[in-house]
A and B are shown apart, each in its own frame.
Chain A
Amino acid sequence: MSARIAGIGCVTPLGGDLDTICRRIEAGERAAVVEVTNPETGRKLCAAPVPAEYTAHLGREPRLRRSSAISLLAAAAGKAAMADRGTEFTPAQKSRLAIVFGVSSGCVQYTRRFYEQIVKQGANAASPMLFPETVYNAPASHLAAMLGVDGATYTLVGDGTVGLQALHFGTQLLELGDADHVLVVAAEELDWALIEAHRDWRLARPGKGALLAEGAAAVLLGHDGRRGKIASHPGESFISRREASAALDRVFTALKPDGGVDILASGANGTWVDALLRAATARHFPSPAPRDLFAKEFLGEAIGAGALLQVVLAADALERQSSSRALVAALGWNQQATGALITR
Chain B
Amino acid sequence: MTAVGIVSPLGLGVAENENALREACDCVTEVTAFDTTKCRCKSAGRVGKMTDGEFGMTKGLHRASRMMIGATREALRADEAFAPEFMIIGTTSGGMSFGEQFYRAQVERRRPKERARWLANYQPQKPALDAMEAGGFRVPVQIIANACASGSNAIGHAFRLVRSGKYRRVLCGGYDAISELVFVGFDSLQAATTDKVRPFDKARSGLVLGEGAAVLALEDFETAQLRGATILAEVTGYGISTDNHHLTQPHPSGIGPEMAMRRALEDAALSPGEVDYINAHGTATPFNDASEGAAIAKIFGARVPVSSTKGMMGHSLGAAGAIEAVFSVLALRGQFLPPNINYREPDPAWELNIVANAARTARVGCVVSNSFGFGGTNASVVIEEAWE
Contacts of A119 in B (CB 8 A): 103-104, 107
Contacting pair B164 A176 (CB below 8 A): yes
B241 at the interface (CB under 8 A from A): yes
- A126 CA / B241 CA spacing, docked (Å): 31
Q: Is the CB of B166 within 8 A of A235?
A: no
Name which of A129-137, A211-219, A290-298 contacts chain B: A129-137
The contact string, 1 if C-beta is below 8 Å from chain B, for chain A 144-174, is 1100111111111111000001000100100
Say whether B363 faces chain A, with CB atoms less than 8 Å apart.
no
CB-based contact B161/A145 at 8 Å: no
Q: Does B266 contact A (CB under 8 A)?
A: no
Say how far A240's CB is from chain B's closest CB, in angstroms: 9
User: Which partner residue on chain B sits nearest A122 by CB separation?
Assistant: B38
Q: Does any Cβ of B come within 8 Å of A193's Cβ?
A: yes
Q: Does B57 contact A (CB under 8 A)?
A: no
Q: Is the CB of A134 within 8 A of B38?
A: no
Q: For chain A, residues 102 to 156, give those with C-beta under 8 angstroms from any C-beta of chain B.
A: 103-104, 106, 111-112, 114-116, 118-120, 122-128, 131-138, 140-142, 144-145, 148-156
Contact yes or no, A115 B181, CB < 8 A: yes
Q: Report the stretch among A53-61, A195-203, A275-283, A307-315 that lies at the interface.
A: A195-203
Question: Is residue A51 contacting chain B, with contact meaning CB distance below 8 A?
Answer: no
Interface bracket on A: 35 or more
Query: Which of B352-370 touch A at CB < 8 Å?
Result: none
Quick check: B248 and A176 within 8 Å, CB to CB? no
| Structural contact, A123 and B138, CB atoms closer than 8 A | no
Closest chain B residue, CB of each to CB of A237: B138
Interface residue A92 (Cβ < 8 Å from any Cβ of B) = no
Complex CA–CA separation, A133 to B181 (angstroms): 13
Task: State whether B185 touches A144 (Cβ < 8 A).
Answer: no
- For B139, the chain A residues whose CB sits under 8 A away are 237
With A122-B38, A152-B240, A154-B153 as contacts: A111 and B144 at CB distance below 8 Å:
no
Asked if A335 CB lies within 8 Å of chain B CBs, one says yes
Least CB distance, A72 to chain B, in whole angstroms: 15
- Residues from chain A with Cβ under 8 Å of B124 in the complex: 136, 157-158
Q: Are B138 and A243 in contact, CB atoms less than 8 angstroms apart?
A: yes
Q: Is the CB of A123 within 8 A of B119?
A: no
Query: B98-110 vs A: 1/0 string, CB under 8 Å?
Result: 0110111011010
A-B contact count (CB 8 A): 196
B145 and A336 contacting across the interface, CB-CB below 8 Å: no
B194 CB-CB contact with A under 8 Å: no
Whether the Cβ atoms of B142 and A156 lie closer than 8 Å is: yes
Contact B116 A200 (CB under 8 A): yes
| Residues of A with C-beta under 8 A to B122 | 197
Chain B neighbourhood of A335, CB < 8 A: 123, 125, 129, 141
- With a cutoff of 8 Å between Cβ atoms, the chain A residues found around residue B94 in the complex are 157
- A270: Cβ under 8 A from any B Cβ: no
With a cutoff of 8 Å between Cβ atoms, the chain B residues found around residue A176 in the complex are 160-161, 164, 166
Q: Does B72 contact A (CB under 8 A)?
A: no
A172 and B161 within 8 A (CB): yes
Interface members, chain A 211-242 (any B CB < 8 Å): 234-239
Instruction: Determine the distance from Cα of A131 to Cα of B184 in the docked complex, in whole angstroms.
Output: 9
B312 interface contact, C-beta 8 A: no
* Interface: A262 (CB within 8 A): no
* Binary contact track A320-343/B, C-beta < 8 Å → 1, others 0: 000000000000001110000000
Determine which of A200, A239, A334 lies in contact with B123 in the assembled complex, contact meaning CB atoms within 8 Å: A334
Which of B22-30, B291-299, B373-381 forms part of the interface with chain A? B373-381
With an 8 A cutoff between CB atoms, is A175 at the interface?
Answer: yes
Query: A135 and B147: CB pair below 8 A?
Result: yes
Pair A239/B377 contact, Cβ less than 8 Å: no
| A63, A111, A149, A154 pick with most chain B CB within 10 angstroms | A154
B39 at interface (Cβ–Cβ under 8 A)? yes
Assess the B144–A154 pair: CB atoms within 8 A. yes
Which parts of B163-191 form the interface with A (CB within 8 Å)?
164, 166, 180-181, 184-190
- Interface: A20 (CB within 8 A): no
B92 near A135 with CB under 8 A, answer yes
**CB-contact partner of A156 in B104, B145, B375, under 8 A:** B145
- 22 CB contacts below 8 A, A to B, read A111-B181, A118-B181, A123-B37, A126-B185, A126-B188, A131-B185, A137-B146, A141-B242, A142-B247, A149-B242, A155-B375, A156-B144, A156-B145, A157-B125, A169-B157, A176-B164, A176-B166, A196-B106, A197-B102, A236-B138, A237-B129, A237-B139
What 9 A-B pairs have minimum CB-CB distances, sorted nearest first?
Answer: A141-B375, A136-B145, A131-B185, A234-B140, A145-B244, A123-B38, A124-B38, A235-B140, A128-B188
Query: B-side interface residues toward A, CB under 8 Å?
Result: 35-39, 86, 91-92, 94, 99-100, 102-104, 106-107, 109, 111, 115-116, 119-120, 122-126, 129, 132-133, 138-147, 153, 157, 160-161, 164, 166, 180-181, 184-190, 240-244, 247-248, 259, 373-377
User: 17 additional contacts, CB 8 Å, given A165-B142, A335-B129?
Assistant: A40-B107, A114-B185, A119-B104, A123-B36, A124-B39, A132-B189, A137-B145, A153-B242, A154-B157, A155-B144, A157-B123, A157-B144, A196-B106, A235-B141, A237-B138, A237-B140, A335-B125
